[in-house]
């Protein structure tokens, strides 16, 4: 039996409704960030980590709402790549797409590693980091296969897991409040001062940043207007659900015992619900990391690679779609290979060190991409006219221009906080230098007319 071949004349198909798109936003919130990386945030800021994560959530919401109009009006798998390319030029457009998708690909290994950490809580294998890496590789491979089988399959799986995750977190939060939160644990609120508090904001930004993946569903969403609605409601969902749960966590455990090794949610659940609570919240943490991988690490960059290949920025192989599954298989396979290599690097150099280093650089890369996309969105609104937005786009963001201004200010502040030592600056300089070299090759292709000048919608 002959295997179906990838073809350039077959495109992505619109088969996802509002709830599936909403699930992308809620599920792609970086689960390992809120469940494991939160431990470092609590160590740095103490109880003030709650406020830091709330501020990061509001800033993330402003960024997502600021991108809503252009996401609806210019729905595309390439999302910010297409928008920024059109309104700010090819240099920034290509960088915006590469930073957002590249961040996801690089973090595939670390997010999988967090998932492996949760699984070893139940089924430990070997010694040291071996069990974490083993289970990470197993589940990462399963989620890649789900994406290869089709966006509808991956999307439905995502929706089911997200509903389970949200339900567990809401019940945990309400149960904790009913049982009683010890408010004395919130004093002192900022044990490490303003510096410790502000250090929690970029950690919160990392935890929430995946929600922008909704934008890359433009070619597979049945109704483009659902993109804008989902961007708003997924933001509200993750802010309310996670801040409620964090309030209970910080009022239950001693913040000085928080770490990257065990989720603070798991520690708190054991106190609130007894021994079974730790298992339930550990399962919730697994769900969060799993949903982040399914439609974040695997889905999002493969769609951006597809769009870039369609324009000529990437090899043609990435722009071909399997006629049966209607998925860009080449991109998914490459993402899997890089993720597995990342897991091997984590095993060689130490899981925790590998994990924390990548997180901060991802925040830098993604924040730049968001800022450029927000500016493109403002130019888009100016082009179509403020008074014509509702009629021509079908979705109008509230409180314009306050929200995009807050979004840009938040991006700038987050970048400032991310460059907390020379090594973060060096890391940024390295990947920015690599990008400039890559763009130099693309300039040669542009001169030969091998890059599309525009994309019609």
Assess if residue 113 is contained within a domain.
yes
Q: Is residue 437 very low, low, confident or very high in pLDDT (cuts 50, 70, 90)?
A: very high
Assess if residue 164 is contained within a domain.
yes
Is it the case that residue 454 has pLDDT exceeding 90? no
Assess if residue 440 is contained within a domain.
yes
Distance in Å from the first CA to the final CA of the chain: 38
CA distances from 83 to 79, 213, 391 (A): 6, 15, 20
Q: Choose between 64 and 292: higher pLDDT.
A: 64
Is it the case that residue 320 has pLDDT exceeding 50? yes
The secondary structure of the chain in percent helix, strand, coil, rounded to multiples of 5, reads: 80, 0, 20
Average pLDDT over residues 323-344: 88
Q: Choose between 362 and 367: higher pLDDT.
A: 367
Q: What's the domain count of the chain?
A: 1
Is it the case that residue 1 has pLDDT exceeding 50? no
| Residue 454, both tokens | 């525009």
Give the pLDDT confidence of 249-287 residue by residue, as tens digits.
899 888 887 766 667 888 888 888 988 888 888 888 788
Of 12-16, 113-117, 339-343, give the range with the top mean pLDDT: 339-343
Maximum alpha-carbon separation in the chain: 68
Assess if residue 2 is contained within a domain.
no
Mean pLDDT, all residues of the chain: 83
Assess if residue 342 is contained within a domain.
yes
H-type alpha helices, 293-421:
299-311, 329-349, 351-384, 389-393, 402-418
Is it the case that residue 373 has pLDDT exceeding 90? yes
Give the pLDDT confidence of 147-188 residue by residue, as tens digits.
898 887 888 888 888 889 889 989 999 999 988 888 998 989
- Range(s) of the domain holding residue 132: 18-447
Assess if residue 252 is contained within a domain.
yes
Which CATH number do you get for residue 378? 1.20.1740.10
Of 200-214, 357-371, 420-434, give the range with the top mean pLDDT: 420-434
Q: Is residue 456 very low, low, confident or very high in pLDDT (cuts 50, 70, 90)?
A: very low
Assess if residue 4 is contained within a domain.
no
Is it the case that residue 146 has pLDDT exceeding 60? yes
Assess if residue 380 is contained within a domain.
yes
Q: Is residue 405 very low, low, confident or very high in pLDDT (cuts 50, 70, 90)?
A: very high
| Residue 47, both tokens | 């109880």
Of 103-107, 166-170, 412-416, least confident by mean pLDDT is 103-107
Opening angle at CA 285, ends 284 and 287, nearest 5: 65
| pLDDT at 23 (0 to 100) | 83
Q: Choose between 45 and 113: higher pLDDT.
A: 45
Opening angle at CA 307, ends 303 and 308, nearest 5: 115
Give the pLDDT confidence of 20-62 residue by residue, as tens digits.
888 888 877 755 566 766 777 888 889 999 999 899 889 888 9
**Tokens 């970029």 found at:** 202
| pLDDT at 33 (0 to 100) | 60
């Amino acid at each position: 039996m002959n295997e179906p071949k990838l073809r350039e004349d077959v495109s992505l198909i619109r088969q996802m409704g509002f709830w599936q798109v909403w699930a992308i936003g809620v599920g792609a919130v970086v689960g390992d960030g809120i469940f494991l990386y939160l431990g470092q945030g609590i160590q740095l800021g103490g109880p003030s980590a709650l406020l830091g994560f709330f501020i990061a959530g509001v800033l993330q919401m402003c960024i997502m709402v600021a991108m809503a109009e252009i996401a609806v009006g210019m729905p595309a798998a390439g999302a910010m790549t297409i928008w920024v390319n059109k309104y700010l030029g090819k240099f920034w457009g290509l960088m915006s797409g590469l930073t957002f998708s590249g961040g996801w690909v690089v973090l595939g290994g670390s997010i999988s590693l967090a998932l492996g950490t949760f699984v070893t809580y139940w089924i430990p294998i070997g010694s040291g980091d071996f069990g974490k890496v083993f289970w990470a590789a197993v589940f990462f491979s399963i989620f890649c296969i789900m994406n290869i089988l089709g966006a509808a399959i991956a999307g439905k799986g995502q929706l089911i897991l997200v509903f389970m995750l949200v339900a567990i977190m809401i019940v945990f939060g309400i149960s904790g409040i009913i049982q009683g939160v010890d408010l004395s644990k919130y004093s002192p609120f900022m044990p490490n001062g303003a510096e410790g508090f502000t250090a929690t904001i970029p950690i919160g930004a990392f935890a929430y940043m995946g929600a922008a993946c909704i934008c890359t569903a433009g070619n597979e969403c049945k109704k483009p207007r659902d993109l804008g609605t989902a961007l708003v409601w997924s933001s509200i969902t993750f802010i309310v659900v996670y801040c409620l749960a964090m309030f209970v966590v910080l009022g239950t455990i001693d913040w000085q015992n928080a770490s990257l090794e065990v989720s603070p949610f798991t520690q708190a659940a054991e106190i609130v619900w007894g021994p079974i609570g730790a298992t339930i919240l550990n399962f919730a943490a697994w769900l969060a990391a799993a949903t982040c991988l399914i439609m974040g690490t695997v889905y999002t960059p493969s769609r951006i690679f597809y769009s870039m290949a369609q324009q000529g920025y990437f090899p043609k192989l990435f722009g071909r779609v399997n006629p049966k599954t209607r998925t860009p298989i080449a991109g998914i396979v490459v993402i899997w290979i890089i993720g597995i290599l990342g897991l091997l690097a984590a095993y060689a150099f130490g899981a925790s060190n590998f994990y924390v280093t990548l997180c901060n650089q991802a925040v830098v890369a993604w924040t730049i991409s968001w800022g450029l996309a927000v500016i493109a969105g403002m130019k888009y609104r100016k082009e179509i006219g403020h008074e014509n937005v509702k009629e021509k786009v079908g979705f109008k963001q509230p409180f314009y221009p306050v929200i995009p201004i807050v979004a840009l200010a938040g991006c700038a502040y987050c970048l400032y906080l991310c460059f907390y030592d020379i090594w973060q600056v060096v890391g940024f300089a390295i990947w920015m230098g690599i990008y400039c070299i890559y763009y130099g090759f693309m300039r040669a292709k542009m001169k030969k007319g091998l890059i599309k000048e525009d994309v019609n919608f």
